Amino acid sequence: MERIKLENISKQFVIEGKKNSALDSAIEFFSRKNRTKFWVLKNISFNVDAGENIGIIGKNASGKSTLLRVIAGIYTFDSGSLRTEGKIVYLNGLAPGLKNKLTVRENIYIMGSLLGLRPKDIRNKLEAIIEFSGIGAFVNTKVFKLSSGMIARFAFSATIHFVEHHNPDIILLDEVFGAGADADFQKKAIRRMDELIRSGATVLLVSHNLDLIKTYCRRAIWMDSGEIIKQGEQVSICDAYAATLA
């Protein structure tokens, strides 16, 4: 069963030119001048089957994150066709909506609501989130008083528990393995992510860490300047890409 099917997907962005005065802004509004258009995705085509894990690699600004956002429905596309089957969860980083002046507990509720959970569902998961993060003594502490490692701990813990709650069919992961914190927690976080990725959902994983792509994916897509350069077996694609970085 196909979960994702893209055919010749293209996406254009518009860059606004520099405006030096209110008059410049008015002229631009009416004339549409001083705007530069560029294609951030160019004729992207591939299929992903149910339960398949695919890594997406490439340099910064190659279109990887834009591609995931198009699949997630966050961005529209300008041409081509896209079909997805099932519930989609998109993760970009591990701290959506984080508010420094609110407590850990309050932030957990905000993060849960942004990921579509009801207050009752968040409340039921609160104890497990705090236990996994290991920062129970600081649950009523405002975030700006915490170290970056402690923030990474509770942000990862909350996000992973909330995603598991949705039991998604498609998981789009954009550089979420950089969980931060100390080495022990990073190992713990990777083990939990491993469980999520191997849960049977279809996974698209964007990462600069080629070892992760080789470990968790069976196919890889190499992108550059909005285009697919190569796609195929993950080890050969990662090695070909790595050779260009040497």
Contact status, residue 51 vs residue 200, Cβ threshold 8 Å: yes
Give me the chain's average pLDDT, please.
88
State the CB neighbour count (10 A cutoff) for residue 112. 25
pLDDT band at 15 (very low <50, low <70, confident <90, very high): confident
Q: Which three-class secondary structure state does DSSP give residue 54?
A: strand
- Nearest Cα residue to 88 out of 192, 164, 171: 171
DSSP-based three-state secondary structure for 21: coil
Q: Is 118 helix (H, G, I), strand (E, B) or coil?
A: coil
Question: How sure is the predictor about 46, in pLDDT bands with cuts at 50, 70 and 90?
Answer: very high
The pLDDT value recorded for residue 191 is 84
pLDDT at position 25 over 70: no
Instruction: Judge residue 158's burial from the number of C-beta atoms within 10 Å of its C-beta, 0-12 exposed, 13-18 middle, 19 or more buried.
Output: buried
pLDDT one-digit tens code per residue, 153-197: 888 899 889 888 888 999 998 887 655 567 788 788 888 888 887
Is the entire prediction scored with pTM above 0.85? Answer: no
- Residue 59 corresponds to which tokens in the numbers above? 């340099």
What residue ranges do the domains of the chain occupy? Answer: 2-245
Which pLDDT does position 23 carry in this prediction? 57
Homologous superfamily of the 2-245 domain (CATH):
P-loop containing nucleotide triphosphate hydrolases (3.40.50.300)
Pick the more confident residue, 186 or 7.
7
pLDDT in tens, 110-161: 999 988 899 999 999 999 999 999 999 999 999 999 988 888 888 889 988 9
Locate 239 and state its tokens. Answer: 């090695």
Q: What pLDDT was estimated at residue 77?
A: 97
Tell me, rounded to whole angstroms, the distance of Cα 135 from its chain centroid.
Answer: 25
Tokens of 230: 């190569």
* Mean pLDDT across 44-54: 95
- Decide the pairing of beta strands 202-206 and 53-57: parallel
